[in-house]
Amino acid sequence: MTRRDLFKTLAALPLTGIGGNAAAPHNRIETERIRLQLRHTWTTVMSSSNTRDTVYCRITSGGVTGVGEGAPIVRYKEDFASAIKAIESVRELLASADPWQFTKIMAEVFKRVKGENAGKAAIDIALMDWAGQQLKTPLYRYFGLDKNDAPVTTFSIGIDTPEITKQKTREAAEYPLLKVKVGLSTDEQTIEAIRSVTKKPLRVDVNEGWKDKEEAVRKINWLETQGVEFVEQPMPAEMIEETRWVRSKVHLPLIADEACQHAADIPKLATAFDGINVKLDKSGGLLEARRWIEIAKSLGMRTMLGCMVSSSVSVTAAAHLSPLVDYADLDGNLLIGNDPYRGVRVEKGKLILPDGPGLGLKRA
């Protein structure tokens, strides 16, 4: 047997039990690190940076290429290298599987890969983009949704000096809703700087920044007087008891972000929060994100779709699910200057979903 024949034979072996027959298609799997350039230095209570690395996964089968993206989350000990390693660890599975069995494939990926949900999201999005293209159907239609129900997205203002915060607020003139990052001793100054420029409704993300429950109550009740609609993750993820106490003392809805890492977290969060922020990078893709949204709704919780700093691949994928949720914070692609793709657009804040098949992406 020549080396080439041996290679072909290995490729056709039933490696996984998924699509594992002698006629198994051999799909091309590519991974790529993408360095996104931020328009402004992006600061939250967790980190500060001018670039962000995300990971693309491309799956080509039957002449059609699906593309997916994941933004590794430092808080969950992920980076681009660990995300790529996670995808590479299931390369043979992806190469030999029948991509039409995307649900079965993702179940197997979840079984084999611990954590690394950004890597899983890149795989899931690539599979769903592939399936949508094969079906010649945009993903929102595949999910049975009405694109007119897509919500207005917030535009995020990172933590900065009052002067730069004012400048960023002015630059965000076309967006009717702003999401403001807080969680430091300068929170009041930040909000006052924004309020000196605009009366728009604000949503606030504390990113676990307040460690004291009395301080959280005091700040939330002050934010209520400042035209804030809800507060995301006021206290550290593990402080569920304290957050429950805070919730009993305030009127503004509380949304869980960092506290919500797994579908199984959602029922216990329902006792301390009014809603959850679902991100494809946290859930591990579209299929699991939809499941989170359904679980939260079944518990009477509000739902939000958020994102990390990402290109239009990941943000457009999330946007296809956005007609399902109450709130959208899908601006990750608007914060960067070198987006490789065009997909979802934003008009006066409203998400405009593309009608092309799959994600409906075009090269920028």
Chain position whose Cβ is nearest to Mg ion: 257
Helix pair angle (286-298, 312-321), 10° resolution: 40
Q: Of 113 and 182, which CB lies nearer to Mg ion in the complex structure?
A: 182
Q: What are the DSSP E strand ranges found in the chain? A: 28-43, 48-61, 64-70, 155-157, 178-181, 202-205, 228-232, 254-256, 275-279, 302-306, 327-329, 341-342, 345-347, 350-352, 362-363
Q: Of 116 and 205, which CB lies nearer to Mg ion in the complex structure?
A: 205
- Cβ 187 to Mg ion, closest distance in Å? 15
Instruction: Kindly identify the residues of this chain, within the stretch 15-54, that bind Mg ion according to CB under 5 A.
Output: none
281 scored as a contact of Mg ion (CB under 5 A):
no
Q: What is the DSSP letter of 150?
A: P
Q: CB atoms < 10 A from the CB of 362, how many?
A: 11
In the three-class reduction of DSSP (H, G, I as helix; E, B as strand; rest coil), residue 217 is classed as helix
Q: What are phi and psi of 45, to 5 degrees?
A: -65, -15
Instruction: Kindly identify the residues of this chain, within the stretch 235-264, that bind Mg ion according to CB under 5 A.
Output: 257
- Cβ 45 to Mg ion, closest distance in Å? 10
Which position among 108, 205, 208, 339 is part of the footprint of Mg ion (CB under 5 A)? Answer: 205
Kindly indicate which of the ranges 95-103, 172-180, 199-207, 343-351 contains the residues binding Mg ion, using the contact rule CB under 5 A.
199-207
- Cβ 345 to Mg ion, closest distance in Å? 23
Distance CA 149, CA 155 (A): 19
- Cβ 159 to Mg ion, closest distance in Å? 13
Q: Which run of H or E residues covers position 261?
A: none
Instruction: Kindly identify the residues of this chain, within the stretch 217-236, that bind Mg ion according to CB under 5 A.
Output: 232
Instruction: Kindly identify the residues of this chain, within the stretch 98-117, that bind Mg ion according to CB under 5 A.
Output: none
78 scored as a contact of Mg ion (CB under 5 A):
no
Binding residues for Mg ion (CB under 5 A):
205, 232, 257
